[in-house]
């Protein structure tokens, strides 16, 4: 398994500009503003982690980047193409793994993958062998001809990951990738992400698993109530949170108002007192 952390060369990044650029991105649901002007660049070859408390706006942002939710304001540029002006070109660069996927229960895994490949106009032997290699990696090959309705949660997640990679995207956009995966599959996925990034691919992921973020992500943004409140590599986050030497958990709790934790624990103690 590939373990190196060599990023895309500075020359490649310079030439092609960022893989993803968000400019003043906003999303309103009625009067409620879930995403309040997010601006950031993600260079090629980077694994970028999007963290934040429940309801912070991660999924909303990710769905806008994947092109399934229309922003209220702002721009999304993917590989130089504006998602609103050139949706087909921008979207073809992206493999999206949603948090609440829709799968056709009455298809087999193999049929589903062929269906997805067909949507991208890739119904040849190449897409099939690519899918087979990924299924093999996830130890899902034996299930290829079984109906999706018989798949466990983790097996569905593995199938989805495979389907998102079938058209050879330049960027993977994934909401909570590790949920439901067993330790081996989680490891395979981490190595796969690293290998993908080493080849110049970009990963934009949301996660609540802070150890994963800390170990895997080159840079992290913490979003809170729709705004980015901290951004950078681990050292920069520590500096921004004025938490020297701290782990991501402490930084996260500090910047998202975790001082209140002590009160919560005290109330819990009282509530649990027999």
Ligand X SMILES: Nc1ncnc2c1ncn2[C@@H]1O[C@H](COP(=O)(O)OP(=O)(O)OP(=O)(O)O)[C@@H](O)[C@H]1O
- Distance of alpha carbon 161 from alpha carbon 190, whole angstroms: 12
Structural contact between residues 243 and 223, judged by C-beta atoms closer than 8 angstroms: no
- Nearer to ligand X among residue 38 and residue 116 (C-beta): 38
CB of 29 or CB of 104, closer to ligand X? 29
* Least separation in angstroms between CB 27 and ligand X: 8
- Candidate ranges 53-61, 101-109, 139-147, 161-169; the one touching Mg ion (CB under 5 A): 53-61
How many residues sit close enough to Mg ion to count as binding (CB under 5 A)?
2
* Cβ at position 29, least distance to ligand X in Å: 3
In angstroms, what is the minimal distance from the CB of 59 to ligand X? 3
The CB-of-56 to ligand X minimum distance in angstroms stands at 4
Residue 34: name its binding partner from ligand X, Mg ion, none (Cβ under 5 to 8 Å by kind): ligand X
Helix, strand, coil tally for the chain in percent (to 5): 45, 25, 35
Does 59 engage in binding with Mg ion (CB under 5 A)?
yes
Taking CB under 6 A as the criterion, which residues in 99-138 touch ligand X? Answer: none
Q: Where are the beta strands (DSSP E) in 159-238?
A: 171-175, 202-206, 219-224, 227-232
Cβ 26 to Mg ion shortest distance, Å: 17
Q: How far is the CB of 101 from ligand X (least distance, A)?
A: 14
Report the SS3 class of residue 187.
helix
Closer residue to ligand X in complex, CB, 56/127: 56
- Whether residue 89 contacts residue 81, with contact meaning beta carbons closer than 8 Å, is answered with yes
Q: With CB cut-offs between 5 and 8 Å by kind, which of Mg ion, ligand X, none does residue 124 bind?
A: none
Compare residues 179 and 239 and give the one whose CB is closer to Mg ion: 179
**Binding to ligand X (CB under 6 A): which residues in 60-79?**
60
Contact between 60 and Mg ion per CB under 5 A: no
Binding mask 21-60 for ligand X (x = CB under 6 A): --------x--x-x-----------------x-xxxxxxx
Closest CA to 128 of 112, 146, 139, 149: 112
Nearer to Mg ion, 35 or 135 (CB): 35
Residue 54 contact partner, candidates ligand X, Mg ion, none, CB within 5 to 8 A by sort of partner: ligand X
d(CA 64, CA 89): 15
The CA dihedral of 104, 109, 113, 118, to the nearest 10 degrees, is -60
Task: Please write down the long-range contacts of 90-94, taking CB distance under 8 Å and 24 or more positions apart.
Answer: 91/66, 91/67, 92/120, 92/167, 92/169, 93/19, 93/169, 93/170, 93/171, 94/65, 94/66, 94/67, 94/169, 94/170, 94/171, 94/172, 94/173
Cα distances (angstroms) measured from residue 48 to each of 103, 118, 221, 232, 257: 27, 29, 8, 9, 23
Query: Residue 172 or residue 223: which is nearer to ligand X going by CB?
Result: 223
Binding site for ligand X (CB under 6 A): 29, 32, 34, 52, 54-60
Binding site for Mg ion (CB under 5 A): 58-59
């Amino acid at each position: 398994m590939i373990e190196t952390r060599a990023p895309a060369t500075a020359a490649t990044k310079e030439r092609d500009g960022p893989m993803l650029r968000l400019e003043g991105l906003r999303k309103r649901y009625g009067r409620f503003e879930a995403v309040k002007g997010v601006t950031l660049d993600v260079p090629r070859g980077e694994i970028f982690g999007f963290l934040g408390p429940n309801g912070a706006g991660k999924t909303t942002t990710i769905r806008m980047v994947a092109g399934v939710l229309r922003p209220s304001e702002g721009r999304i540029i993917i590989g130089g193409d504006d998602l609103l002006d050139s949706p087909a070109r921008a979207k073809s660069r992206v493999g999206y793994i949603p948090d609440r996927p829709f799968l056709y229960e009455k298809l087999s895994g193999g049929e589903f993958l062929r269906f997805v490949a067909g949507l991208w106009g890739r119904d040849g032997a190449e897409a099939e062998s690519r899918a087979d290699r990924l299924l093999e990696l996830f130890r899902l090959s034996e299930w290829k001809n079984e109906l999706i309705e018989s798949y466990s949660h983790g097996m569905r997640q593995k199938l989805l990951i495979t389907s998102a990679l079938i058209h050879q995207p330049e960027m993977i956009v994934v909401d909570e990738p590790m949920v439901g995966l067993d330790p081996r599959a989680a490891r395979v996925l981490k190595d796969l992400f690293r290998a993908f990034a080493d080849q110049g691919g970009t990963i934009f992921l949301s996660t609540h698993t802070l150890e994963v973020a800390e170990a895997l992500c080159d840079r992290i943004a913490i979003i809170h109530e729709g705004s980015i409140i901290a951004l950078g590599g681990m050292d920069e986050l520590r500096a921004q949170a004025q938490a020297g030497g701290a782990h991501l958990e402490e930084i996260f709790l500090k910047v998202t108002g975790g001082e209140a934790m002590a009160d919560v624990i005290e109330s819990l103690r009282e509530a649990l007192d027999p």
